[in-house]
Amino acid sequence: MNSPYPILDISNLSITFLSDGIKIPAVSSFSCRIMQGTCTAIIGESGCGKSVVAHAILRLLPKNSQVEGTIIFKNQNIYRLDERLLQSIRGKEIGIMFQSPDRALNPIYRLYKQMFQPLDTHKVVPVQEREAHIHKALIKAGFSNPELAARLYPCHCSGGMNQRAVTAIILSLEPDLVIADEPTKGLDRSKILDIQASLQEVLHEKRTLLLITHDIRLAHTMAHHIVVMYAGEIVEAGPANAILSSPSHPYTRGLIQSLPENGFNPIPGCAPPLTNLPEGCRFADRCYQVTKLCHKRPAKLTQVNGRMIRCHRY
Amino acid sequence: MRKSQHKMCTLLFLILSIVSVCCSMGVMADDAILRIATTNEVKSPAFIGDYTLGLFNHLSNPPLMQMDENGKLIGLLADHYEVSPDNTEWTFVIKDNQFWSDGTPVTADDVAFSIQMYGTSIPNAGWIGETLTDTQVDGNKVTFKFNKPYTNLALEFTSYSILPKHIWESIENPNEFTSTGPYVGAGPYYLDNVDLNAGKVIFKRNPSWKGKISDYDTVEISWFKNEDAAAKALESGIMDTYWKYASSYPYAAIDSLRKTGNFEMLEKPTSGLTFLGFNLKREPMSDPAFREAVSSAINYQELVDISTLGYGLVPNRGFVPPAMDGYIQTKPMEYNLETAKKTLDSAGYKDSDGNGIIEAADGKDITLDLLIRNSYAREAELIKEYLEKAGIGVEVRTVEDNTWFEMKDKLDYDITLTRTTPWGMLMHAGWATGYFDSRRTGQGVLHTVDDEVFLKLCDDILSTTDQTLLKEYAKEVQEYYAENLPGIPLYWKNDITPYNKKITGWYSNPLYGIMNEFTFTGVKSSA
Amino acid sequence: MVKIHPAGIFLSRKLLRYLLSFFCILLIVFLLPRMMPGDPVSNLVGEDIYLSQSTIDSLRAAFGLDTPLHEQFIRYCLQIMHGDLGYSYHMHGPVFEILISRAWWTLLYTIPSIIIGAWIGISLGARAGFQSGKWWSDVIASIALVISSTPPYLLSLLALVLFVYHLGLFPFKGFYDTYNLQSILYHLTLPTLVLISFYASRNILIMRGAVLTEKELLYPQFARSLGIPEREILFHHIRKNAIIPLIVLIALDFGFLFSGALFIEIVFSLSGMGSLMYDAILARDYPILTGSLLIIAIFVIIANITADIMSLIIDPRIRRSS
Amino acid sequence: MTVINIPSWLKKMRYTPTFCIIILGIFVYAAIFPKTISPYSPDIRFSPYGEPDENHILGTDDMGYDILTLLIYATRISLIIGVFAGILSLCIGTSIGIASGFHQGWVDDLMMGVTDIILIIPKIPVTILIAAYLHPSIWILIIVLGLFSWETTARVVRAKTMQIRNSGFVLSSRCLGFSSFSIIIHDIIPVIYPVLLPKFMLTIASAMISEASLSFLGLSDPMMESWGKMIADAFDHGGFIREMWWWFLPPAICMCVTVLAITRIGMIYESNEPEMVFE
């Protein structure tokens, strides 16, 4: 499964936001290598910084953010690129599906125009074939009647239709790396299966997928590699089936337990506020195997039989 | 960003090119054109119908009589006039050797036709239509017969321009007749073009004019809609002089005009003045003692300094200024707060509740309703301050001109501020009687005095043309004003007319200032 | 799923509303001048002229003021039906011709000002709103604010003194000296530039406010993530969304096209519609006042209709909700 | 990401440039206690048309009053008229705009019909009417200025409301059963606010300006000293012909600065943090 070279290499990325004079460390020392053709899933509670990482990859963070660390995409450092080169990568080589598709689409344009414009910017296909290309992408995204769908306005469509519209726009540009940020949020069962099918299609076409989700079942079916994040840090990372079948970090084990099919018992307490993080391990006051050491010293990420864990017990 | 910036500079380039093309126009060659600036606007190109055009067209169609610089009536189109002893028959002898601009000679028929036409179809000449019974023409004499005696007909006939019969007889409604094209005139210039869009009236030299001629073959009168622009145009030199009917060049602008160094000032005392009018039909204004107190509470010297910037003087009780003939010396107005308070006290107006304001008989504070038009706001502020110092409460109410006319006619005010004009002072029985006689209505008149003595005096004046008797009556009228103070004059003033130093030969008369034939035939350019 | 929006019902209801408001306007436009104190007949002549009572009565009859008000109104409505706006005794001419001759000149300087003012307002306002962090966007916003918060009369006079008196670039007054194109352009450049600065400053402020709202939404962010350059995001995406509030205002400017700019006409002594109506108000010239107010009312209604239709076309969300 | 919650407006107040607050403070102080900071009392007259010199910083006007004293005493009326008329017109305009934008159908038609009619009524004749029949006190002026300047605000607000009427968050709060009134307060006004702010600023400016043009046309009460009246007096009494900049520019500058300060304070509510994409 591991192909010859990593398409994306993030090394100790840490992002802090400055809002109203208060520093918020959203992500601290996040590093991960994503192999070409594989699907990596980042899972964790909402607010643990996983979406921040997704947006940092394409330099879409707002002005009040400070970013340290390097993100190498196809051995180009994203944060060293000039604006023009970055624009040629965005959409053409890395596509990102935003969380709330309703507000991500321009309300006053028909779907056809919103798909036509990026194709025209990146000149993906010659002009005469664009019509056919758009229809093909719409069908792939799950629209039964592409001519009708192309004439729709976002405000006239439901949430699910807009989600599929966003997918169609991204896939029509045929990017090498697709970042899906919470694709299944707020969707019912049948819609989730549709999204899952189109994501499978991405992998089928030998593209890389970075899945940001809190839906562990989706991660289980799709991902080859899983990264678990908690309060801005990686607590556990490794091959998917190994981590999901035998989670070693207490937080991961708690996540698995909280699934409906495993008894539905959630982890007590809630994540610490990012503005005043505890001394030791950030999961200390919710961990059932907590020791005095956990409260004093923060744990370091160590390599333990093929997976990375941040816990004093290893 | 390239495409939109490209568009931006093309637009800027476009605007700049238009601007540069226009500025290259520069100032046209300055051939012999006399340019007069004014703020009297011509509203429509109706030769007779428009009020302002009526003021200008004396230049091209001279009336029968005119006034010389010290106010005496002398002939213009007519040489002289005779009056029958019972003042009902007026005979005018027309000067010979006068020709219309289309070459035909001016005849007595033209005069007869014009006056009859005015009588029948012009609103403000309705009195001619009602009283003119017969018109006789023989040779160069015209005799008008009226069914009632007139003593000041010569004065009235200084404002009715005489029109060529052979042109105007075919026009069935002359008051509504409008045309911008050339009008036939008998004066030194004829009216060539009325151009509302350019904002000017152009007079060209009358080819068949036999009299003296000035250095200018065109006269352009341009009107501005605000005094600031007019003053700046004058200072910049593109205008030669400034004229406004019955008012002076703004006093405040005189200093900056002098600073330019190329203007002289023609200063002439005028019979136009600003006065405080009483509503004599209301308490306490009807009480002469109260009016006396008000008259001594006003600081006249400060009013002269502020309103006329020194180009005026403290008035006399006789109301009529020295600029009018028949003026007699009366006691000057004097400002004395103590006497004002004492007169109020002795007249029974006590300040019982000690709040500084006197009370009327019913115990309530006296607060006079001072109704003014907005151009008198400054004087009203001062009057309010003076009267309140003397113990009389004042409430100032500013209204728009037309509202003032209506409220004044309904006598819905206590005291008011308004002005007289040279023409108004001569109206009715003359010496400002037109403003006070209650039998006479009109926009600018107060019609507040219905005292028998005064009315009889007016009728006496109206029934005689004997100059010595008129002098006597004039003295009686001025003594009546000094005695009863129906209106308190605030200041007498001089009218200033600035003119370009390089131009000489200006002549000004009390009625129309420099707009008279002497100026337009005597003006020489020394440039 | 495309809804066939009931254009017919929607437009007919709008039509009924505009007919009703037109009738109310007809009533107001007729009554307002007549409610003002002051009598038109006495304004026919100057301050010093004496009108005998018989002349006044004959003139009142000629003006048609002697009949009771409701009769006058009915006669007035019939006149309107035949397209005759009546005769003005103050201006000595039929109202329609006077309005047309004055309107032609007023349009000559108002139409270019509104169009260029709108164009500058939209492009500069959008750019200032989009790059609101930059220093020059705050500079533009403050200049626009200074211009729109000083009295127009003061600004026009300052322009007159500066450009005409001191620099001598432009003439003092009038639409032209000699009736030719170059003279007209020479005379109208400064008033138009002053009027453009008024319209442009207001449009800049409104556009900047609207773009600031749109800029922070999600769809520009998504477009950026698709690699669309900033300039296209601004022009294609944000500006079209943000223009709706401005369309309403610019349509209203076109609506009041005929009323001209009174202060520009007073300062630069232009005899346009603004000063015609102002003089008609002062002289209580009922026919002119009623005629011009009626024309302006019709244009404002048309402007409002076009504004509604244009916002329907541009924004499907409005189409869905009406 | 819960943060210790200081009240949001206080937190944001720190960010408005403090000189705006100081300037507005000075003007409000001058409006309330003019006596304390004005060099002379307003009814003492000196020599007219005085140039600015050491004892008259801004010179004297045509009646000899000290211009700086007039400027200070005029603050009160200008501020009251500008702000109150602005607020009145904004409230009417916003409520009618939102009501007709939110409730479609005959409500919209009725409201917009009324707006069209009031839009067409010319201001000058109405002011003449009012000046003739009522004694023009300051409150009547505020009501007139307020009642005749809200139409454009109403139309702008209506256009914006119709735009966001069907967007997600409004629909969601609707199906949560919120009354339309609370939807308006909590959902629609915050979104409309950035468009409303420039309109509010323009309304205050136009209220002060129309007060100035009324005094220029001579329809306002001469006893009411305001910045607008000062400028109008300067034009009527030769201030412009003699190019006495120190007479009519200071009131115009005060007007601009007041409107700038009020807007700048208003701007702190213009949220420029981007819509949080990460929740």
Q: How confident is the model at residue D270 (pLDDT cuts 50, 70, 90)?
A: low
Of all helices (H) and strands (E), which one includes residue B89?
strand B89-94
When CB atoms are compared, the residue of A64, A100, A273 closest to D2 is A273
When CB atoms are compared, the residue of A95, A103, A173 closest to C219 is A103
D32 and C CB contact within 8 Å: no
Mean per-residue pLDDT for C19-44? 85
pTM of the model: 0.87
Of C123, A126, C117, nearest to B3 by C-alpha is C123
Minimum distance, in Å, between the CA of residue D135 and any CA atom of chain A: 52
Q: Is pLDDT of C197 > 90?
A: yes
Interface of C with D in 39-78 (CB under 8 A): none
When CB atoms are compared, the residue of D129, D166, D204 closest to C321 is D166
Is C270:C109 a contact under the CB 8 Å cutoff?
A: yes
Tens of pLDDT, residue by residue over D196-205, are 888 888 888 8
Q: Is pLDDT of D35 > 60?
A: yes
Report pLDDT for C268. Answer: 92
Report pLDDT for C3. Answer: 52
Report pLDDT for B143. Answer: 92
Average pLDDT over all residues of chain C: 86
What is the share, in percent, of chain A residues with pLDDT greater than 70?
Answer: 98
- Please tell me which residue of chain B has the smallest CA distance to D217: B374
Measured between its terminal Cα atoms, the distance across chain B in Å is 58
**Which residues from chain C sit within 8 angstroms of residue D243, using beta carbons?**
161
Report pLDDT for C1. Answer: 43
Minimum distance, in Å, between the CA of residue B306 and any CA atom of chain D: 6
Kindly determine whether residue C46 and residue B51, on different chains, have CB atoms separated by under 8 Å.
yes
Report pLDDT for D274. Answer: 52
| C-alpha separations of C127 from B8, C120, D236 in Å | 13, 11, 41
B399 and D CB contact within 8 Å: yes
Tens of pLDDT, residue by residue over C168-185, are 899 999 899 888 999 999
**Which residues from chain C sit within 8 angstroms of residue D248, using beta carbons?**
154
Of D9, D157, D100, D171, nearest to C209 by C-alpha is D157
- Please tell me which residue of chain D has the smallest CA distance to A49: D278
Tens of pLDDT, residue by residue over D81-93, are 888 998 899 899 9
What is the share, in percent, of chain B residues with pLDDT greater than 90?
Answer: 35
- Please tell me which residue of chain A has the smallest CA distance to D4: A275
The residue among C2, C214, C219, C313 with the most chain A CBs within 10 A of its CB, best to mutate, is: C219
What is the share, in percent, of chain D residues with pLDDT greater than 90?
Answer: 9
| C-alpha separations of B191 from B85, B212, B516 in Å | 39, 18, 15
When CB atoms are compared, the residue of A87, A155, A157 closest to C317 is A155
C26 and D CB contact within 8 Å: no
When CB atoms are compared, the residue of C32, C216, C322 closest to D271 is C216
**Which residues from chain A sit within 8 angstroms of residue D273, using beta carbons?**
19, 62, 64
What is the share, in percent, of chain B residues with pLDDT greater than 70?
Answer: 94
Q: Round to whole Å and give the CA distance between A178 and A201.
A: 12
Interface of C with A in 120-179 (CB under 8 A): 133
When CB atoms are compared, the residue of D45, D132, D221 closest to B403 is D132
Q: DSSP letter at C43?
A: G
What is the share, in percent, of chain C residues with pLDDT greater than 70?
Answer: 96
**Which residues from chain C sit within 8 angstroms of residue B443, using beta carbons?**
42-43, 45-49
D128 and B CB contact within 8 Å: yes
Query: Phi/psi class of residue B71: alpha, beta or left (left: φ > 0; alpha: ψ in -120 to 50)?
Result: left
Kindly determine whether residue D241 and residue B228, on different chains, have CB atoms separated by under 8 Å.
yes
Q: Is pLDDT of D26 > 50?
A: yes
- Please tell me which residue of chain B has the smallest CA distance to C176: B198
Q: How confident is the model at residue B1 (pLDDT cuts 50, 70, 90)?
A: very low
DSSP letters spanning D218-262:
T-S-TT---HHHHHHHHHHTTTTTTT-HHHHHHHHHHHHHHHHHH
State the amino acid at position C73 in one-letter form. Answer: F
Q: DSSP letter at B222?
A: E
Residue burial D248-277, b: 16+ Cβ < 10 Å; e: rest = bbbbbebbbbbbbbbbbebbbebeeebeeb
Per-residue tokens: C224: 């950026």
When CB atoms are compared, the residue of A20, A24, A62 closest to D1 is A24
When CB atoms are compared, the residue of C49, C105, C269 closest to B229 is C269
Average pLDDT over all residues of chain D: 80
When CB atoms are compared, the residue of D4, D166, D277 closest to A51 is D277
Average pLDDT over all residues of chain A: 83
Kindly determine whether residue C150 and residue D256, on different chains, have CB atoms separated by under 8 Å.
yes
When CB atoms are compared, the residue of D43, D63, D136 closest to B378 is D63
Sign of the torsion angle spanned by Cα atoms A252, A254, A258, A264: positive
Mean per-residue pLDDT for B76-88? 88
Kindly determine whether residue D278 and residue A55, on different chains, have CB atoms separated by under 8 Å.
yes
Q: Is pLDDT of B510 > 90?
A: no
C320 and D CB contact within 8 Å: yes
- Provide the residue ranges of all domains of chain A, joining segments of one domain with +: 6-93+175-309, 102-174
Q: How confident is the model at residue D6 (pLDDT cuts 50, 70, 90)?
A: low
Minimum distance, in Å, between the CA of residue D88 and any CA atom of chain C: 18
- Please tell me which residue of chain B has the smallest CA distance to C179: B198
Is A6-93+175-309 in CATH node 3.40.630.10?
no
Q: Is chain B in touch with chain A: ≥3 Cβ pairs within 8 A?
A: no
Is B333:B324 a contact under the CB 8 Å cutoff?
A: no
Of D222, D178, D225, nearest to D69 by C-alpha is D225
Burial class of residue A83, CB neighbours in 10 A (0-12, 13-18, 19+): exposed
Q: How confident is the model at residue D11 (pLDDT cuts 50, 70, 90)?
A: low
Number of helices (H), then strands (E), belonging to chain B: the values are 18, 19
Tens of pLDDT, residue by residue over C290-305, are 999 998 988 888 888 8
Mean per-residue pLDDT for C113-133? 91
A173 and C CB contact within 8 Å: yes
Mean per-residue pLDDT for B83-102? 89
Is C174:B199 a contact under the CB 8 Å cutoff?
A: yes
Interface of D with A in 164-223 (CB under 8 A): 166-168
Q: Round to whole Å and give the CA distance between A5 and A75.
A: 10
Report pLDDT for D3. Answer: 45
Report pLDDT for B11. Answer: 67
When CB atoms are compared, the residue of A104, A122, A157 closest to C227 is A122
Q: Round to whole Å and give the CA distance between C169 and B22.
A: 9
Q: How confident is the model at residue A131 (pLDDT cuts 50, 70, 90)?
A: confident
Q: Is pLDDT of D279 > 50?
A: no
Report pLDDT for C115. Answer: 95
Our measurement of the distance from residue C72's CA atom to the centroid of its chain's CA atoms, rounded to an integer in Å, reads: 29
B230 and D CB contact within 8 Å: no
- Please tell me which residue of chain A has the smallest CA distance to D8: A20
Tens of pLDDT, residue by residue over B249-279, are 999 889 889 998 989 998 988 888 999 999 9
Average pLDDT over all residues of chain B: 87
Mean per-residue pLDDT for D235-256? 88
Pairing of strands B487-500, B503-504: unpaired
A273 and C CB contact within 8 Å: no
Kindly determine whether residue A107 and residue C316, on different chains, have CB atoms separated by under 8 Å.
yes
Minimum distance, in Å, between the CA of residue D99 and any CA atom of chain B: 39
Minimum distance, in Å, between the CA of residue C282 and any CA atom of chain A: 49
Mean per-residue pLDDT for B30-59? 88
Minimum distance, in Å, between the CA of residue A34 and any CA atom of chain C: 20
Q: Is pLDDT of C44 > 70?
A: yes
Report pLDDT for D2. Answer: 42
Our measurement of the distance from residue B176's CA atom to the centroid of its chain's CA atoms, rounded to an integer in Å, reads: 24
A123 and D CB contact within 8 Å: no
Kindly determine whether residue C245 and residue D122, on different chains, have CB atoms separated by under 8 Å.
no
**Which residues from chain C sit within 8 angstroms of residue D117, using beta carbons?**
21, 24-25, 28
Tens of pLDDT, residue by residue over A173-225, are 888 888 888 888 777 788 788 888 888 888 888 888 888 888 888 888 888 88
Q: How confident is the model at residue D1 (pLDDT cuts 50, 70, 90)?
A: very low
Chain D neighbours, 3+ Cβ pairs < 8 A: A, B, C
- Please tell me which residue of chain B has the smallest CA distance to C183: B22
Please, where are the H alpha helices in B24-62? 51-56
Of C123, C35, B361, nearest to D132 by C-alpha is C35
When CB atoms are compared, the residue of B255, B302, B396 closest to D222 is B396
Q: DSSP letter at B359?
A: B
Tens of pLDDT, residue by residue over D161-217, are 888 777 767 777 777 777 777 777 777 777 777 778 888 888 888 888 888 777 766
Contacts of D116 (CB under 8 A, 6+ apart): C18, C21, C25, C300, C301, C304
Q: How confident is the model at residue A259 (pLDDT cuts 50, 70, 90)?
A: confident
Report pLDDT for B27. Answer: 46
**Which residues from chain D sit within 8 angstroms of residue B252, using beta carbons?**
49, 62, 237-239, 241-242
Chain A neighbours, 3+ Cβ pairs < 8 A: C, D
